[in-house]
Chain A
Amino acid sequence: MSGMRRAPLALLLSLAGCADAGEVASSPPIEPSRLLPARLRRLTAAEYDRAASDLLSMEVQPSIELPPDTTLLGFSANADGAVDALFASKLADVAQRLAREAALSRLNELAPCAGEMSECAASFVEALGRRAFRRPLDADERARYLDLFEAGRAEEGDYRSGVEWVLGALLASPFFLYLTELGPSPGEVARAASGETLELSPHEVASQLAFALTGGPPDAALREAAERGELGAAGRRRQASRLLTLYETRFQFRRFVAEWFGLEGEPPVKDVELFPGWASAWSAMREETAQWVDAVMIQENGSFRGLLAGDVTNAGRVGILQHGSFLSRFAHVTDTAPVLRGVFVLRRLLCRTLPSPAELDIEVTFPELDADRTTRARYAAHSSDPRCAACHESIDGIGFSFESFDAIGRARTSEAGQAIDTSGSVELEGTRIELRDSAELARALAEAPEAERCMQRQLLRFATGRSEPAAEQAFTELMTQLSRERQASILEVTLALTESDLFVRRRRE
């Protein structure tokens, strides 16, 4: 794998040409009711780190001191995320500390001053402000931050303090903290703006592109493309393709898969007597999945089939659903969890709505642990109780197929002294398919259009931090204009998203 280390992410893409690149771009505009609503999305903890590091030209990780993200359907990008008093308090502290550090150690890089102080101030306020807000400042903002510089300089008696005060405010400003979807500012000419919809400004588009694909703010080339108005559909595709070739972009796709498959967060709790060595096993499993995602992206163009049913690293497992990481996360402390595994597949891979027992006013009692019975036998109440059977036929049919893997994802052939039965079933395209084991499940899902469409919806959610059924529907329809192979490629779908109308227009609410 070491030869893979510096390979561009999208080796195949750059060779494949852009045969139907125009199709999505030239599709008719999407009706307003199916666009995403204009929202204000707070940067995630990880995005904040990247944006702060970019602004200060220093590697910093302030998010350690900030409250954790509240996720939406598993994704950290969350347009519902708000700023409460604790967050604001910690943000103020962290911004102050970073500003002090940066003003002390990087003054000459951030705010060089060879001449007259007021000229230097005007110059750095413009440059740093533009970098922080990801767009040029307007006249009010320029004045506001110059006044702040002056107040700091006067209070402490030196240029450096003025710079520190300005940085402390920029790092906590709502224009730094949120991704806006306002459209062109009142002073700019608005293109194709009806009352119902708005078109994101070029700078907003650049921000959306950068954060969606790389998890960080726009780089120099992207900023310049925004300045030059080169972010029409073709321009966006060009930029997105370029971003896919950057080394760091792989971490964003690792994050997408990890969040989608529920792998982020605290390690699953396991019985350390039954599973000694668990503590180090989890991080090794995460790393194994991460490297494998890289390989699927690079060698298989992000193929959904490769992700779900391939074996790109020859690990002897059929797809990500047979990875230790997934199997451990969706298992209990000592035993497997066919229900959690089945529910995951239905909700997160097939995007089906599944009511929880609580919603059906059913009180759930867990089956007893029993050293003499297999898991399948212990869950028998699911099929015998008619209230449970309706949903559990689907859930357990999937979940039982994983029984040849234990609670930490190790292969096993027996349980409670009996041979493991991995037979199951899954309903796809209205047909119930019998399964021998989870490998057959993975292959069936990998080929299922419904699962492919769900992958596309998940990408949209990850990229935009919201889940809007009408927009997701519009997006999956748009993707049918791509070739079969491209529709099933995570990378191609990403590119198509950036080209589409859906990426740059919003519905006003």
Chain B
Amino acid sequence: MDLGFPRRGLLSVLGAGAGVLLLPGSPRPARAESALAALSRFVAVYMPHGVARELWRPRADFVIDYPEASLAPFDEPAVYGRSLREQLLVIEGLDLTTGIQGGSAGHDGSRVLLTGSAGDGKTASLDQFLAIERDLGASTPLASLVLGVGDASTALGHCISYAAGGSALPKLIDPSQTFHEVFGKWQLGADPAARAEAERARRRGQSVLDAITADLSALSSRLGESERPKLEQHAAALRELEKRLGAFELACTPPLAPDAAAFPRLDGAVYFDTITDLQIELLAQALACGVTRFATLFLADLSHTGLDPLLPSDVHEGVAHRYSESRPESVALLARQNRYCHAKVARLGARLHELGLLDETLVLASSDMGDPARHSSRSVPTLLLGGGATFRPGRYLDVRSADGGVPNNRLLVSLARAFGADIDAYGESPDARVLGGELSLLT
């Protein structure tokens, strides 16, 4: 099954311009001058249903294009324009330990992927930690972008981005809305009337925001300690809005808005593939145009999409629950679901490469489970794509020891440090040993 990379078809839907253009007088986009450029962008992608390990593990010499290999999209130059194998790091053996300890494992495992904390945790996810707490998102209009496909729920098991304090962040699942949030607000027409209207809207927005901010301040001064974090999050949200009112020149020509006729129903599984591709394109463009540096994407599975005639229509019960290493047919079926998600990550990687961003962007793709039939959050499949030479990609790493897997908290520490955060621990656990230290094999 070739769910390839029909750029022409996509461009006709999105109407994108030819790559990165500069508006006269606007600052250059920060293009990496060399492989030593610091990491400046982080993207996390959630892939459902764990992994069929037998058709995922690279073979000797990091061969990933053997028959039925689910990682093959990362080594398909004919489809993606180049092989991404040398930019790919495959890690086996990371456990969602705090989830396993704290009752947020299995289908609730996504809670832990970027936070290293179980259900009641207050730790922000890595994207939010870097963007907000470390202020790396301060200079872009959007501190971060949280995207999904087909499912807007913020319930446990449906999100990977969490604010400090523990609330799940809502996902944009409508590409038209994504476009509006990312580009719609900065339509700098050359038309003077449109510019004047935009300027009036900006003044109105600022005055209204001033009044609301004053209200929030007055409210905050009367609240008890326990409610302060909630208001602080609200205040931070208002500061974000204010930042977006400021003048901002896009570091590119914005694409045209997606054609909504291509996805008449956001909850219609037959449209999920189109929606996913549009979300990926908008995400890549958002990074390229300097609108944001941090993004997450929650992928849907192939259930009821009709895209793969070899898969039962319900992938959850028909494929994931039936996976068994002793039954090759079940392995092959799960590997097809895995391959679909990998193809999307490869698509994103290829696009970032075309936009000149892949070396300074780190893409983390992972799942809530390892063995989905057992609902095990041990040894979840972990992929790192891009980021230049930071983690010495182009290899497979098995971090398990005689004692078992390694808590994913360590990966989060290593990633945070790669973005300049000088921390030694990430997440929350009654057992402090779980939280600390880097993943030494990475570097």
Contacts and interface: CB of A to CB of B under 8 A. Distances in A.
Interface of A: 37-40, 67-68, 70-71, 80-89, 92, 95-96, 140-141, 144-145, 147-148, 151-152, 155-156, 165, 168-169, 172-175, 178, 180, 182, 186, 265-266, 269, 271, 332-334, 355-359, 361, 363-366, 368, 508-509
Interface of B: 99-106, 108, 142-144, 146, 152-155, 163, 165-170, 172, 181, 200, 203-205, 207-209, 211-212, 214-216, 218-219, 222-227, 230-231, 233-234, 236-238, 240-241, 244, 267, 303-304, 313-314, 316-317, 321-322, 371, 373-377
Contacts of B321: 365-366
Given A174-B234, A333-B317, A156 B170 contact: no
A67 B208 CA distance: 21
A89 B177 CA distance: 11
Contacts of A364: 106, 374-375
Would you list the 5 A-B pairs with minimal beta carbon distance, nearest first?
Answer: A67-B170, A359-B103, A88-B237, A358-B105, A363-B374
A82 B228 CA distance: 11
Contacts of A509: 224-227
B304 to A, nearest CB: 8
Contact of B375 (A95, A148, A357): A357
Nearest to A176: B215
Q: Is the contact region of chain A dominated by helix, strand, or loop, or is it mixed?
A: loop
A310 to B, nearest CB: 32
Given A39-B227, A88-B237, A509-B224, A169 B212 contact: yes
A206 to B, nearest CB: 19
A172 B214 CA distance: 12
Given A67-B170, A333-B316, A365-B375, 4 more contacts: A82-B233, A87-B237, A144-B211, A155-B203
Contact of B322 (A83, A355, A368): A368
Contact of A168 (B99, B144, B208, B225): B208
B237 A83 contact: yes
A430 to B, nearest CB: 27
B155 A70 contact: yes
B208 A172 contact: yes
Contacts of A92: 205, 208-209, 241
B203 A87 contact: no
A359 B207 CA distance: 50
Nearest to A42: B230
B172 to A, nearest CB: 7
Contacts of A169: 208, 211-212
B155 A71 contact: yes
B103 A82 contact: no
Given A70-B155, A84-B163, A356-B103, A366 B211 contact: no
20 contacts: A40-B227, A83-B237, A84-B237, A85-B142, A85-B237, A85-B240, A86-B170, A88-B237, A140-B214, A151-B207, A152-B204, A155-B200, A155-B204, A169-B211, A174-B216, A174-B219, A266-B153, A271-B313, A359-B103, A509-B227
A95 B374 CA distance: 47
A141 B222 contact: no
Contact of A365 (B103, B203, B227, B374): B374
A358 B375 contact: yes
Contacts of B222: 182, 186
A83 B234 contact: yes
A508 B224 CA distance: 7
Given A148-B207, A363-B376, A365-B374, A85 B103 contact: no
Q: Give the one of A89, A152, A358 with max B CB within 10 A.
A: A358
Nearest to B314: A333
A508 B223 CA distance: 9
Contacts of A361: 100-101
B215 A174 contact: yes
A334 B212 CA distance: 51
Contacts of B233: 82-84
A31 B165 CA distance: 29
Contacts of B377: 358
A365 B218 contact: no
Given A70-B154, A92-B241, A86 B146 contact: yes
A82 B124 CA distance: 14
A172 B237 CA distance: 12
Nearest to B210: A148
Contacts of A89: 181, 237, 240-241, 244
A358 B108 contact: yes
B146 A269 contact: no
A152 B238 CA distance: 20
Q: Give the one of B146, B167, B203, B236 with max A CB within 10 A.
A: B167
B372 to A, nearest CB: 10
Nearest to B373: A365
A85 B143 contact: yes
Nearest to A359: B103
Contact of A175 (B106, B215, B231, B303): B215
A212 to B, nearest CB: 20
Given A85-B241, A88-B234, A88-B240, A37 B106 contact: no
B317 A363 contact: no
Given A84-B167, A366-B321, A68 B374 contact: no
A155 B200 CA distance: 8
A68 B227 contact: no
Contacts of B218: 140-141
A86 B169 contact: yes
A81 B231 CA distance: 11
A137 B212 CA distance: 14
A84 B377 CA distance: 29
Nearest to A168: B208
A88 B234 CA distance: 8
Given A40-B230, A174-B216, A365-B374, A86 B225 contact: no
A269 to B, nearest CB: 7
Given A84-B233, A168-B204, A174-B215, A358 B169 contact: no
Nearest to B165: A82
Given A86-B170, A266-B267, A366-B321, A173 B200 contact: no
A67 B152 contact: yes
A70 B168 contact: yes
B100 A358 contact: yes
B163 A82 contact: yes
B48 to A, nearest CB: 14
Nearest to B201: A96
A139 B207 CA distance: 19
A183 to B, nearest CB: 9
A39 B225 CA distance: 10
A178 to B, nearest CB: 8
A38 B224 contact: yes
A84 B241 CA distance: 11
Q: Give the one of B99, B169, B208, B215 with max A CB within 10 A.
A: B208
Nearest to B153: A68
Contacts of B241: 85, 88-89, 92
Contacts of B104: 358
A355 B100 CA distance: 13
A196 B155 CA distance: 34
A174 B170 CA distance: 19
A382 to B, nearest CB: 15
A358 B103 contact: yes
Contacts of B205: 92, 96
A358 B204 contact: no
Contacts of B373: 365-366
Contact of A366 (B200, B303, B317): B317
Q: Give the one of A37, A141, A151 with max B CB within 10 A.
A: A151
A165 B208 contact: yes
A186 B226 CA distance: 20
Contacts of B230: 40, 80, 82
Contacts of A96: 204-205, 208
Nearest to B233: A82
Contact of B170 (A84, A182, A266): A84
Contacts of A86: 146, 169-170, 172, 181
